[in-house]
Amino acid sequence: MAEPLLELRNLRKAYGALVVTDDVSLSVRPGELHAIIGPNGAGKTTLIHQISGTLASNSGSVLFGGEDVTQLSMPQRVRRGLARSFQITSILPGFSALENVALAVQARSGSSFRLFGQASQEKALNEPAMECLAQVNLAARAHVPAGLLSHGEKRQLELAIGLATAPRLLLLDEPLAGTGHEESQRVVETLRRLKERLTIVLIEHDMDAVFSLADRVSVLVYGRVIATDTPARIRENPEVRAAYLGEEEMV
Amino acid sequence: MTEIAETPSAPMPSLSTRFEIVPIVLFAAFAAAPLLAAYSGAEGYVLSLLTRVMIFGIAAMALDLILGYGALVSFGHAAFLGLGGYAVGILASHGIEDALVQIPVALAASALFALVTGAISLRTKGVYFIMITLAFGQMLYFLATSLAAYGGDDGMTLSSRSLLAGTGVLKNDFTFYWVCLLCLLGAYAFSRSVVASRFGRVLRGTRENSIRMEAIGFQPFRFQLAAYVLSGMLAGLAGCLLANQAEFVSPAFMTWQRSGELIFMVVLGGLGSLHGAVIGAAAFLLLEEFLPEILHSLSFFLSEEARSHLAENWKMVFGPLLILIVLFVRGGIMGLLRRPHHG
Ligand SMILES: Nc1ncnc2c1ncn2[C@@H]1O[C@H](COP(=O)(O)OP(=O)(O)O)[C@@H](O)[C@H]1O
Ligand SMILES: [Mg+2]
C-alpha cells in the first residue's frame, strides 16, 4: 500500500485532568477523503489544532509526507502543504475576498519583505487568487470586503484561502457549520470537486455529507479513535452504533 | 488585542485614494507657511513652532506605522527621540558635527535598540506589550540621566546645529525648516509605500487576525519586528531633528509622558492614515501652545482675575478636552474629515 500522506502516532493532549486527545493513531492515504466524526466535545477540533500545529501536543508525533513535523510551527507546516480551515470562521474581515486569498498566494510566492510596490496590484498574486475564488464560486464577490459576505460565502472563502496555499492536504473543520441547506449543497459540491485532486481530512456533523463524500471514516469518542473504516462498514459497526450513531437520527 | 487596536483603521490603499486631498493640503500648508511667517511679524517664533510640529509629525507617523497598521501600542516610542537626540549631542561633543555622520549613527542606534527591545517585547501581547515597551523606554531614560559626562539630568546644550556636508546651512532657520519638511515628506512617502507593499499587507493582515496569517504560512513576529525597527528608525530621525531644533538634548526627550503624548497625537489625528498622525501632532502642539490665549479670550464674560486663573491653569482644560475629542470623534480628526464623504 502507498505510504500514508499523514500519519498520527499516539497523539495525546490533556487539559489538566481532562484528556481530550487520548493516544490517537491514524493514517491518511494520499488522495483519500478521510472523515472524522464524533459527538460534540469528542476532541475533533483539538485534533485538527494538533495536526496543523495551532496547538502543541503533550506527546506523540505527526508525520506529514514521511517527515516528522511534530516540532514545527503552524506556518512551517503550511509551507510544507498542510493547510487548514477553522470551525469558527477565520478571515480578514477588512480585506476584500480577493485580498484574503491573494495574501495566501503571497505567502508562498517570493519574499514578503518587499517595502515597495503595491501588493494589491500584483497580477502574479491576483490571478491565482481569482482562480481559487472561482473554484468555490466566489469570483463574482471578489471585491466585496470579506466581513460583508454572507455566512455561507465566508465558509467558501475559507476554502479558497486554504486552496491558495497550494496544499497537499486540506484539514477542514466543519466547513458546513451554520450554513443553510442551499449553501451547504454548494459547499458539498465544491468538496466533491476538490477531492478529485486533493487529500482531505474532513470533520463534519452533517452525516449525509460525510457518508456521500468520505472514502474512509474515523470515529472519535472521548478523544479515542474507536474505529476507522469505509462508510458502509462504519454504519454497521456495533461499537460505533452503541457509542455514537445510535443517538443520532442518521442510522 | 486592545481597545485601540480594534477601532477601524488602516483602510486599503484603494479606499484611501478618495481622501488624497487631505495630505496635499497639509503639505502645501507646510510649504506655504514660511512665506506667511515672513509677514506675521514673529517670523522666528512661527518657524520654530512649525518646525517642531513637523518633527513631532514624523515621530507620530512612525508610531502610526506600528500602532495604526500593526495594532502594536508602543508606550516607549519617546526613547527613539532620545536616541536620535543623544546621537547628535554625544557625537557633537566629540567634535563629530556633520549630520551626514550623525544621522546614520542615530538610525543605526535606533534600529539596534528596536531590534533588541522589539524581539523581547513582541513575545508579549496587549497590556504586557504596552508595559514592557514602557519599561524599556524608562530604562533608556534613566540611562540618560546617569550620563554625567553628557549632562546627566540637566542634559546638554549643543554649541550649534549640525553641519551638513561640512557647511553650516542648517544654522539658517529657513533652511532648517525646509530640511525638516523634506524629511517629513520623505518619511511620509516611504511609509505610504511600506503600508501598501507586500510587507505592509502582511502587517495589516496580522493586525486583523494573526491566527489566520499563521494559517496561511506567515510568521507574524518577523513582520512585526521589522515594522518596529522601521518605526524606531523614523522616530530616531525625528530625534536628530529635534535636538537640532532645540539645540539642546536632555532626558526629557524620552520621558514616558512624551511617549504618551505621541500615542495621543496618533489617536487624535486618527489611526492608520499616516497623514492623520501629522495632523494629530499639529493639533496637539498648537493646542498646547495657544490654549491659554484661546481660553483667555473665550472667557470674556468672566472677571479679569478668573480669566487669568483659567489661562494659567490651561492644562486643566487641555486634558479633558483631548479626552472628549478622542471619545466623541471616532477615528480622530481624519474621521471628521472623512465623515461627509460617507454621509
Ligand atoms: N482550552 C481548553 N481548555 C480546557 N478544555 C478545553 C479547551 N479546549 C477544548 N477543551 C475541551 O476539550 C474537549 C474537546 O473539545 P473540541 O476539540 O472542541 O471538541 P469537538 O470539536 O469534537 O466538539 C471539550 O470537552 C472541551 O470542553
Ligand atoms: Mg469542534
Above 80 in pLDDT, residue B18? no
The residue extents of the domains of chain A are 1-81+167-251, 93-166
Tell me the three-class secondary structure of chain B, residue by residue. CCHHHHCCCCCCHHHHHHHCHHHHHHHHHHHHHHHHHHHHCCHHHHHHHHHHHHHHHHHHHHHHHHHHHHCCCCCCCHHHHHHHHHHHHHHHHCCCCEHHHHHHHHHHHHHHHHHHHHHHHCCCCHHHHHHHHHHHHHHHHHHHHCCHHHCHHHCEECCCCCEECCECHHHCHHHHHHHHHHHHHHHHHHHHHHHHCHHHHHHHHHHHCHHHHHHCCCCHHHHHHHHHHHHHHHHHHHHHHHHHHHCEECHHHHCHHHHHHHHHHHHHHCCCCCHHHHHHHHHHHHHHHHHHHHHHHHCCCCCHHHHHHHHHCCHHHHHHHHHHHHHHCCCHHHHHHHHHHHC
**Residue B11, pLDDT above cutoff 60:** no
How far, CA to CA in Å, does B192 sit from each of A1, A9, A86, B167?
55, 49, 33, 32
From the list A54, A73, A78, the residue facing B216 with the nearest CB is: A78
Q: Which three cell numbers stand for residue B121?
A: 517585547
Residue B7 has pLDDT above 60, yes or no: no
**End-to-end CA, chain A:** 31
> Ligand 1: does its nearest atom lie under 6 Å from the Cβ of A223?
no
Separation of CA A59 from chain center: 22
Residue A70 has pLDDT above 80, yes or no: yes
For residues B123-134, give the mean pLDDT.
94
Q: Choose the mutation target among A92, A168, A170 for the interface with B, i.e. most B CBs under 10 Å.
A: A92
State the average pLDDT over residues B229-235: 98
Tell me, in angstroms, the distance from the centre of ligand 2 to residue A77's CA.
21
What is the domain partition of chain B in residue ranges? Answer: 2-255
Q: Which residues in chain B are contacts of A113 at CB distance < 8 A?
A: 198-199, 223, 226
Fold of A1-81+167-251: Rossmann fold (3.40.50)
Instruction: Please say if the pLDDT value at position B131 is more than 80.
Output: yes
Asked if B202's CB is within 8 angstroms of A112's CB, the reply is: yes
* Model pLDDT, residue A1: 59
pLDDT for A150-163, tens place per residue?
999 999 999 999 99
- 10 Å CB burial of residue B112 (0-12, 13-18, 19+) is middle
- B313 vs B214 pLDDT, higher one: B214
Whether the per-residue pLDDT at B343 is higher than 80: the answer is no
| pLDDT tens sequence across B177-193 | 999 999 999 999 999 99
Residue type, B314: W
Q: Which CATH class is domain B2-255?
A: mainly alpha
Q: Is there a contact between B249 and B81 (Cβ–Cβ < 8 Å)? A: no
Q: Which residues contact A186 (CB under 8 A, 6 or more apart)?
A: A137, A152, A156
SS3 label, residue A20: strand
Pocket-testing residue among A36, A46, A50, A54, ligand 1, by greatest number of atoms within 8 A of Cβ: A46
Cα dihedral A42/A43/A45/A48 (nearest 10): -130
Please state the rounded mean pLDDT for residues B79-94.
96
The β-bridge partners of A62 are A8
Instruction: Dig out the grid coordinates for B266 from the structure.
Output: 496618533
Degrees to nearest 5, angle at CA A30 with A25 and A34: 55
Distance CA A152, CA A217 (A): 25
Question: What is d(CA B238, CA B80) in angstroms, rounded to the nearest whole number?
Answer: 8
pLDDT at position A87 over 80 = yes
Ligand nearest to the CA of A39: 1
Residue B276 has pLDDT above 80, yes or no: yes
Q: What are phi and psi of A214, to 5 degrees?
A: -75, 145
Query: Residue of the nearest CA to atom 18 in ligand 1?
Result: A45
Residues in chain A: 251
